Amino acid sequence: MSYKRYKPLEIYKNLIQFFWEYEEDFSDGITYNQPTTASINPKLAFQYTGKMDMKSKSGRSEQLFLSGFQAQTDTPNTIYTNQRVGVFGVYFYPLAIPVLFGIPSNEITNYNIEISDLLGSEGKVLEEKIMICNSTSERINKMNDFLESKFKSFSSEAHLLNFAISHIINKGGLINLQLLASEMCLSPKQVERKFYKYTGFGPKQFSRIVRFEQSITSVYEGVDTLTSLAHQLGFYDQSHFIKNFKEFSGQTPKGYFSNDLSSLLGL
């Protein structure tokens, strides 16, 4: 497996976590299955070699677009293929979609969207440019050129939401929403509306997913037991933690961590 990550330019540090590239050959008859989890981060992926499909929690399958957005989601899925694949992608931060493209995040939550459906003709042009590149550095340069044409600056509202999002992430999802609203000088209802616009979730659901993602990070950082992890993350007990984990991953912690997915999770 070849999986690599690349840092974005400093100007995009609040919009892009990293660029990534994944290449592997699964044409030997063994189907590759990669579980995906709930995530606060939207992604953009370009399949320049082969194709992958996705199976939902309910068992429904759909073909992933040659180039498309995988929006922020609170639902686990599985990506699978039996081909040789090469994928280049952008791992965004929550604010990216509304800031870069002027599209409210709540309009795309839990959807996979073809790039031309979201961005129109300029999305199709970007796809064509990425597909004819011969190296990762070329693809990153093309993406930077495109992003430069879209990114102007953060509005005061976006700055405020960036503060709130960073605060929740830094606290591992353990925050007092009333206190957060007070710090933002907004009413709880105003916070709710702005969170839907900029993250695709209300602040409570957003915090729950952050806490779930923190649990994955903590395991790979060496937390001792699930019981200590549950207490560390503010759960009443281990069973409550397991129920929450299964909701967002589709598996129990034991089943999920039986496979080392740390590299694909960006850890």
| pLDDT bucket at 14, cuts 50 / 70 / 90 | very high
d(CA 140, CA 130): 9
Residue 55 amino acid letter: K
Other CB atoms within 10 A of residue 3 CB? 13
- Give phi and psi for 191, each to the nearest 5: -60, -45
Which residues are 45's β-sheet partners? 68, 89
* pTM assigned to the model: 0.92
**Nearest in space to 34 (alpha carbons), one of 1, 65, 66:** 1
- Beta-carbon contacts of residue 229 (< 8 Å; ≥ 6 apart): 215, 218, 219, 223, 241
Confidence of residue 96 (pLDDT cuts 50, 70, 90): very high
User: Quick one: what percent of the chain has pLDDT higher than 70?
Assistant: 96
**Digit-coded pLDDT (tens) for 200-237:** 999 999 999 999 999 998 888 776 677 888 888 888 88
Q: Over the stretch 102-131, which tens digit does the pLDDT of each residue have?
A: 999 999 999 999 999 999 999 999 999 999
Residue 81 C-alpha from the chain's centroid: 20
Main-chain dihedrals φ then ψ at residue 235, nearest 5 degrees? -80, 155
Q: 115: closest CA among 55, 30, 45?
A: 45
Which tokens is 76 given? Answer: 């686990």
pLDDT 10s digits, 34-91: 889 999 999 999 999 999 999 987 778 888 999 999 999 999 999 999 999 999 999 9
- Mean pLDDT score across all residues of the chain: 91
Domains of the chain: 2-150 (2.60.120.10), 156-256 (1.10.10.60)
Say whether pLDDT at 245 is over 60.
Answer: yes
Does position 267 have pLDDT exceeding 50, yes or no? Answer: no
Average pLDDT over residues 24-37: 88
What distances in angstroms separate CA 222 from CA 11, 54, 112, 217, 262, one per listed residue?
33, 31, 33, 9, 12
Flag whether pLDDT at 141 surpasses 70.
yes
Q: What is the mean pLDDT of residues 138-151?
A: 96
Percent of the chain with pLDDT over 90: 74
Confidence of residue 1 (pLDDT cuts 50, 70, 90): low
Whether the predicted pLDDT of 155 surpasses 60: yes
**Could you give the 3-state DSSP secondary structure of residue 54?**
strand
